[in-house]
Amino acid sequence: MANVLVTNVRILDGTGEYPYTGEVLIQGNRIRRVARGLRSLPTVGATVIDGAGATLMPGMTEAHTHFSWNDQPDLESIQRMPPEEHTLWAAKVAKTYIDAGFTSCVGAAAAKPRLDVVVRNAINSGLIPGPRYLANGQEIATTGGLGDTSPPHIPAPELSFGWVVTGPEDMRRAVRMFIKYGVDLLKLNISGEEIAGVAAEETPMCDDEVAMAVSEAHRRGRRVCAHARSAESVKMCVRHGVDIIYHASYADEEALDMLEAAKDRHFVAPALAWLFRTGRDAGPWGIRPDSPIAIKYQREAEIACETMRKMLKRGIRVLPGGDYGFAWIPHGTNAKDLEYFVDHCGFSTMEAIVSTTKWGGEIMGRPGELGQIKEGYLADLILVDGDPVANIRILQDRTRLLFVMKDGEFHKAPDMAPQRSRYGMGVVA
Ligand SMILES: [Zn+2]
């Protein structure tokens, strides 16, 4: 592919530095040069894109993604979708993410054993558009815990939403099986979840199961993430080295101390959208805001925000990722999480941007080459009409994404039509 020079942009580089006017030269799939001011980089041999003062920033990362959740109101509707339809659905969702400016996503569990792996492979081979993706397996659940949805009178594991295990040996078998299928990471359901009938503050999975999962995964170079709402489940994650901790709402002071002491090893993604909107916006789907279950979610949202506020102060990496893919939180609206961080968790807009860019590159396992605009970094970039530092909400507006580039290739090319030229964006051969 030809070199691309993006000029006349405000560079929001993902390091936390305030945007500056400059230009960026992309060669192949990497950022080759970054310059302050204008007209300092050579235009020869490059397609020149005049950004007309728009903001150039790294593509965003979603830290808790389920391509196979199907925008329905319950787990059963996800699970009952046949594999053929489900694969096509997940492929469509993958495109939705990159359309929305998310060039990286961390898979937080798939509804069927190989769904994520197949979609990741299709993206990587160029068969379908989508973000960089870390593929997960099914949620690994304990008998009777979150994810064991088979009815007592039909003890068939295939009828369960998660992959059900009891004891360390069963866990070892499950982890090895998903690794055989090709996953990048494994998901453990350590704590409960109100909507599934197991309280969020309960911890059905035990230490020996978690320890086994982590040791088997790490042995093969795979990472582990966990559904961990209760304080005890967060402590288990730190004790046994679970790399990515989802939710962590009820982390107490002891859990926070442990996490802070190991903050370079862990990432946290609270999935706030799920808490906020299940508590408030799911009425049309039978979860009225004044119902006991909705009230539990409202309470957890409040506590989770307080916990994230403390984590931010302690320097723990907290990333956006909201468990999108239910009827009241459909895929593609994910940048709303950044607004929650700013409005409810004490993040500055810049801290929210760093969490979805710099820390995004780190959670993707590519620190030093992904998630920032620096020379030598991978060219995953979005050009945004407006200033996200002044208003974080504009990242939710897809029409403001003037281009989306992943790995040096345009997913969405800049519009060079006459109406766009009036705005000032153009191409100079
Ligand atoms: Zn989830």
Q: Any idea what the CATH number is for the domain that residue 18 is in?
A: 2.30.40.10
- Tell whether 235 and 291 lie within a shared domain: yes
- Tell whether 166 and 90 lie within a shared domain: yes
Residue 322 confidence (pLDDT) = 82
For residue 272, the CA-to-ligand 1 centroid distance in Å is 11
Tokens at residue 312, please? 């931010």
208 within a domain of the structure (yes/no):
yes
For residue 415, the CA-to-ligand 1 centroid distance in Å is 35
125 residue type, one letter: S
For residue 107, the CA-to-ligand 1 centroid distance in Å is 9
CA distance 87 to 338: 29
Tokens at residue 424, please? 């000032």
For residue 187, the CA-to-ligand 1 centroid distance in Å is 9
For residue 221, the CA-to-ligand 1 centroid distance in Å is 22
346 within a domain of the structure (yes/no):
no
CA distance 337 to 382: 18
- Tell whether 14 and 114 lie within a shared domain: no
CA distance 429 to 412: 19
For residue 249, the CA-to-ligand 1 centroid distance in Å is 14
For residue 32, the CA-to-ligand 1 centroid distance in Å is 37
For residue 65, the CA-to-ligand 1 centroid distance in Å is 7
- Tell whether 293 and 422 lie within a shared domain: no
For residue 325, the CA-to-ligand 1 centroid distance in Å is 9
DSSP, res 135: -
Angstrom CA distances, 280 to 121, 124, 285, 328, 339, stand at: 37, 38, 11, 10, 16
CA distance 204 to 402: 47
Residue 340 parent element (H or E): helix 336-344
Please count the structural domains in the chain: 2
CA distance 193 to 275: 11
345 within a domain of the structure (yes/no):
no
358 within a domain of the structure (yes/no):
no
For residue 248, the CA-to-ligand 1 centroid distance in Å is 12
For residue 110, the CA-to-ligand 1 centroid distance in Å is 9
Which stretches within 194-313 are classed as H helix? 207-219, 231-240, 253-261, 272-280, 292-313
For residue 398, the CA-to-ligand 1 centroid distance in Å is 24
- Tell whether 325 and 192 lie within a shared domain: yes
Q: Which of 276, 308, 334 is the last residue of a domain?
A: 334
Q: Which of 284, 309, 334 is the last residue of a domain?
A: 334
379 within a domain of the structure (yes/no):
yes
For residue 220, the CA-to-ligand 1 centroid distance in Å is 24
- Tell whether 301 and 423 lie within a shared domain: no
- Tell whether 52 and 77 lie within a shared domain: no
For residue 139, the CA-to-ligand 1 centroid distance in Å is 9
Q: Which of 288, 319, 334 is the last residue of a domain?
A: 334
For residue 323, the CA-to-ligand 1 centroid distance in Å is 5
For residue 176, the CA-to-ligand 1 centroid distance in Å is 22
- Tell whether 31 and 148 lie within a shared domain: no
Range of the domain at 403: 3-58+368-428
For residue 127, the CA-to-ligand 1 centroid distance in Å is 26
Residue 200 confidence (pLDDT) = 94
DSSP, res 314: T
DSSP, res 398: G
For residue 338, the CA-to-ligand 1 centroid distance in Å is 17
356 within a domain of the structure (yes/no):
no
Q: Which residues pair with 106 in a beta bridge?
A: 134
* Sequence-ordered list of residues with C-beta below 8 angstroms from that of 409, at least 6 positions apart, any chain: 1, 29
For residue 346, the CA-to-ligand 1 centroid distance in Å is 23
Residue 127 confidence (pLDDT) = 98
339 within a domain of the structure (yes/no):
no
The position carrying tokens 């059905």 is 204
Angle between helices 349-356 and 336-344 (to 10 degrees): 140
For residue 201, the CA-to-ligand 1 centroid distance in Å is 16
Residue 419 confidence (pLDDT) = 39
For residue 341, the CA-to-ligand 1 centroid distance in Å is 18
3-state secondary structure of 334: coil
CATH code, domain with 199: 3.20.20.140
CA distance 373 to 357: 9
- Tell whether 34 and 82 lie within a shared domain: no
For residue 225, the CA-to-ligand 1 centroid distance in Å is 10
Strand duo 136-142 + 244-247: pairing: unpaired
- Tell whether 328 and 292 lie within a shared domain: yes
349 within a domain of the structure (yes/no):
no
For residue 69, the CA-to-ligand 1 centroid distance in Å is 9
For residue 330, the CA-to-ligand 1 centroid distance in Å is 13
For residue 246, the CA-to-ligand 1 centroid distance in Å is 8
- Tell whether 395 and 273 lie within a shared domain: no
In tens digits, the chain (429 residues) has pLDDT values of 579 999 999 999 999 999 999 999 999 999 999 999 998 898 989 999 999 999 999 999 999 999 999 999 988 899 899 999 999 999 999 999 999 999 999 999 999 999 999 999 999 999 999 999 999 999 999 999 999 988 888 877 778 899 999 999 999 999 999 999 999 999 999 999 998 899 999 999 999 999 999 999 999 999 999 999 999 999 999 999 999 999 999 999 999 999 999 999 999 999 999 999 999 999 999 999 999 999 999 999 999 999 999 999 999 999 999 899 999 999 999 999 999 999 999 999 999 999 999 999 999 999 999 999 999 999 999 999 999 999 999 999 999 999 999 999 999 999 864 434 444 454 543
- Strands, sheet with 102-107, edge to edge from the N-terminal-most edge strand: 60-65, 102-107, 132-134
127 residue type, one letter: L
- Tell whether 210 and 125 lie within a shared domain: yes
